[in-house]
Structure 1
Amino acid sequence: MRKNLFTLTLLIFSSFYATASHIVGGELVFITLSNGSASHRIGLNLYFDELNGIPQAEDPGATLYIFRKSDNQRIGSVQAPKVGRKNITYANPQCGTSGLRTLLISYLVDVFLNPMDYSAPDGYYIVWDRCCRNSVIDNIKNPGDVGSLFSVFFPPLLKNGTRFIDSVPEFSEIQGDYACLNADYYLDFSASDADGDSLAYSLTTPVTGFSNRALPSPLAGGSSNYPVVSWTDGISLANVIPGSRPLRIDAQTGRLSFTASRLGLYVFSVTVTEYRSGQKIGSVSRDFQIKVIDCFEALPPKILAFENSRKENLGNNSVLRLSRTDSACFTIKVTDPNFNQLVKIKGRAVNSARRDFYFLPAEFRTQKSNDTLTFQFCLDACFETDDNRPVKIELIAEDESCPVPLTDTLTILIYREKAPNAAPVINSSLSSVYVDALPDQPLTFDVFGKDIDLDSIVLSASGRGFELTEYGFVFPPKSGRDTVSQKLSWKPPCTLNVADTIAVDFKLTDLRCEANSKSSVLTVYFIVQDAKNNAPRVRTTAQTDTITIQLDAINPLSILFEVIASDPDTAQLSLFGLGRGFSLAEAKMDFFNRIGSREITSTFSWTPDCSLLQGKSEMLFAVDFISEDKSCLAARDSSTVFLLIRDNLNDAALDLPNVITPNQDGKNDCFIGADLPTDNCIQRFEEVTIFNRWGTRVYLSRDRNFTWCPVDAPAGTYFYQVKYSINAYKGTISLLK
């Protein structure tokens, strides 16, 4: 198998310092990189005992070995150079006098791992094996003669032919505080995962590996069962740090807790395992030590406050109402039972983000037991409150007790009068605060602000529950005095995955003191299409899908029905009609394409005429009514109506009377055209002509409902001709008197 790692020669140290006991703990690092030629960052975080370890034991590099999990075969190794060195942090740095001083030494290297070479289904692991541990550990046997093996397990880099991306969890930066005997102790041992995988924490037995005092830095070997430390008598994984509450870890948060009943330095190991879709994919362990000491019994300070103008003692939760002319300073007196203690005064507003107050001075040191120290607590000019909402301030006296400072808190509630200030006015160029936002369609409008007090103002915007840049909104904050304006630009992305309506708050704030600052908010609601799109539907009110029309040249018939498009989404919905092979307009069909949302309706109407037959006896027209949404995942639906028009063909023979008797008896008095064949698109009545037997025309009519009543005409035989657009009918009439 081709190796894409480089293997460097192990560093060889002299026996004088190679066997030095210096390892407090550590963990390995395995991070996937997204840019550059390297694919992964691999390394070691080593916690080094600065007091008991000698400087020569600090290696300039760390050799890390990679093994395949299925058969423990070594795949390669990397040499990680030292890239960082610092003392680990303490919650209270002044307490670092308990025999604890620990260095964090970081070794990191960026490498390229070819996924084709790391595709074994069971995954891989990396180890670092080194002696020796801190020799003053109390809960394991022979601590200075055994080494530490740190490991990290990672999944295959290629699964089912696809690159599998994973970074193993990274532990948060540790704090090296000691614990006090018979006192509750807590420590954050949590980790973060760059891929958002689920994490589970557990206490595990520290691993020694194959290194020892005689072989402090061996060529690491693979194993499914590395050697672990031997606990001292009475110690097990259930009570790594013995006490009324032995060492425990919260499986979900990684928070360590215990109450120790025995002094000593205790080593332990925490393993964090990552899960994706319910499957374990990787893990990493961290070794570390906590020292339990018999702490000096310290007592907390006591704090009192007095209002300077009234010389009144302010009890806890005192309420003060101050005008603009009242004194803004208070005297704080702190008594600390312990001598030579540095006492600091801090304050925080519980229900306000502003810090409109200060202390003079901020700290004092006690000279004797129960020494009383005096401070000044003052409100600055911008400290103002609403009439019905005081600012709740906690005044905190804090000493330097170890490992955790002791405090006393005095709470006061303050009302302070403020100067009048009118809220600025904000509006926009929009006609409505509801805006249809079409995916991938640019949208712009202006937002305006004005302050009648002529204050400096700032105009800004924020999304409700999202960052504006996340969705591509462009609206830089704009400042000005008296008036200000800014343009919003937005091209809704097709990947938008939010609720149907998202809100953007445009905020105009004057820049007076925060407590008296006024703001106005204009909320604009953008109606967008969710990327998960429901297809629209279209239907008609036509009784049948095929409508047949018998054309009547005299009294034309009309077709009328509604077309309805609906979509449960709020995206823009279009409704339009298309003729198959013809234009609706050319066929004289009336149908208006419409745009809307939710549900839209348009009327189809048509009065066909003979010209549409183009000389044929019948014609079939197919009209597709289509509803289409305008989301990025555009969907459509269609409904087809077939319109069949036919000529009203009539092959009936001409049936006119051949005898008339114009004697006005109401029987056969006239020659009438009531029984003429009806007109159609091909054959239409044009005129009727009547001639006498000498060929003289005696009657002409172009009204198909003609009536010839020849009262004064002589009896005899007459001839008629009924002319149609194509045919002509002839016959005789006998006029009897």
Structure 2
Amino acid sequence: MPTTTLTTFIRGGLLLWLLCLLAPAARATHIVGGELDLQHVNGATYQLSLNLYFDAVNGQPGALDPELTASIFEKGTNRRMLDVPLPLTNNTLVSYTNPACTTPSLVTRRLVYTRPITLAGQTFASPNGYYVAVERCCRNNGISNIVDPGGAAQTFYLEFPPVVRNGQDFRNSTPRIFPPLSDYACRGELFYYNFGGQDTDGDSLVYDLVTPLNGYSNTVIPKPDRAQPAPYSTVRWVDSLSVTRQIPGNPTLSIGRLTGRLEVRPTRLGLFVFGVRCTEYRKGVRLGETRRDFQLKVISCPTNARPKVVMQVPNRRQPYQVGRDTLRLQPGGNRCFTLKFTDADLTSALTLSLSPVNFTAPLPTLSILQGTVRTPGAPDTLVSRLCFPDCFNTKGKVYLLDVIVADNGCSLPKRDTVRVAVTSVPEPNAAPLLRSTAVLPLRARPGDLITFDLVATDPDNDPITLEMTGRGFTPAGVGAQLTQTASNGQLTGRFTWRVDCRAVDKPLYEFEFTAAAAPCADRQATTLVIPVQIEYVNRPPQLTSPFPGPAAGSPTPPAPLVIRRPIGGVYEASLAGLDLDVDALTLTAVGTGFDLAAAGMTFVPRNGNGQASGVFRWEASCEAVRLNGLEVTFTLQESTCWPQPQTRIVRFEVEQPPVPDFLPPNVITPYQRDEKNDFFELDNVKNNLPPDFCESRFADLEIFNRWGSRVYRTTNRSFRWDGGGLPAGVYYYLIEFTDKKRYKGTVTIAN
């Protein structure tokens, strides 16, 4: 094979191999739609976000990108300004208007890619403005109204103005289109949805339909490293469809220019993509735009009849006539009206709601909000009472109120509306009344319980509330509570305060109680103030003991008293406490780092109100030697708000026996048989062998000859060594105690 042909063959094979590798990405059809969003944060910082709507049923998991790149260009010149990697930060399901209408064939996820960016004034100041683009392929393969949907891409696109105008910072955030839903449409039925957005800057928003952008990404390169500059190609419509007829319907898809309300009565089944553009204006000057692509699935639905609602006017056979009748409400007159609502469909769940047209609260009430008709055991018609509150005040104007009945049909409920015109003069109203059972003056000490009742009534039977506040304090912060019960047209509050130590910070607490009503949103209140005086004085308790306390006026206690006893010796002491305020007293004895019982100590207290006593006993043992002394803290503690404990610290030590000079014998004459100096012994008064004391005890004695060989060993403190028949000469001894003390010397065996 010629070299040129071989090279061509190899290159062709590599290209085919690469295309095979790219094939899964080319088949990654998943995009439902989406939009870009740019929000000003502070200074030159903005938050750039991409909302990508993902087909969770048909979309391939491999198409769920962890990151996408947004590119920013200058309009007019298409100069590339910035490429921004946007990481995936959120992944949630898009909800349905009516969850009961959920279909498993239509599940959409909202993927949010976002990152803060800096748009510096010296860089982004072109009067042409700028645009942002993200390119990704491919769209949902099941789309019915465009050519080759599985190979069609989407270019997410928005425009924004310069961040500096006329030498001044110009801040702007793009409008946010209302979040989409997963709703589907029924063939032959009107579908509507509000895509109207919100603008944080208060700019004017205008909506229109546009052909979705395709761009430069494709099945071979579905995810470019960055977007290409404009212009971007658009998707191609099938049949006779166009930008003004994106979904076959009667009427076809339309959007409210100022409201953003989408409407269509689809005539064909299928999955249809559509594009919406939201353009923002400030003081008549165009700032920019944001685009959203989305999909609408049209399915066959069961026939659904429209529900009906009628309003009955008292003393009249004919129902309320919209546009002709006006309800005129006067004080003392009838304020309730009958509503009847029904539906021709079997087992139809109906819901009544009220929507004010040209006013806000207060709204009238409905006795029945929902119910089911035309099912076994249920009526064909439901009846509800519409009642206007006595305080309803139209202030001389005609208020319009929509009474709406909706069924539970899918995909969207059908509705019927009666628009009611009403004028109303409110009933005259008086302020609430408030009284208390508290007997003044109220005085309390810590531990006392204060209770009294408050009774609130309203001459007009308006709903009332009972509130409790404190002047300069929070009642809950000091433990005060107000529980309320309503009965027989009155509201009763039970005030309860178990006065505790939190109250001693102030001598006087003023509790303010308010009975309030708000007819016609006009607050009317009556206030009652009840003072509580706190009486609290605390004198320190007195501790009597054999241990000295701090000197008068001294800020520091004296050094601990030291008490010494020999091993086996006993020490006892009695302590007594007295409190003139008769507070509960507690006497305690606590060892520093040791347990009293383990150290041979006991403390038996007798505690009580105003008086306490205790007996301490110590039998000296080696535990005190091991711990190098025992420190005990005796405390007289009072149970009160500002306790002033009395403390004594005592140190207990064991007296060590005297250790005289060690003067052992150094010559023995066992061979003279004169019963004098026959033995080498140490445990006697004469030789003054150190006494055994706790951890320091005789361990052993060893005797060695001059060659270092041991000739004798004993662990008996009262040993007697007669030389063991060894020849006369000098021998060496070593004495060891258990605390590692050693004594060395020589002993000579003489003839």
The TM-score bracket by the shorter chain reads 0.3 to 0.5
- Return the TM-score normalized by structure 1: 0.48
- Return the TM-score normalized by structure 2: 0.47
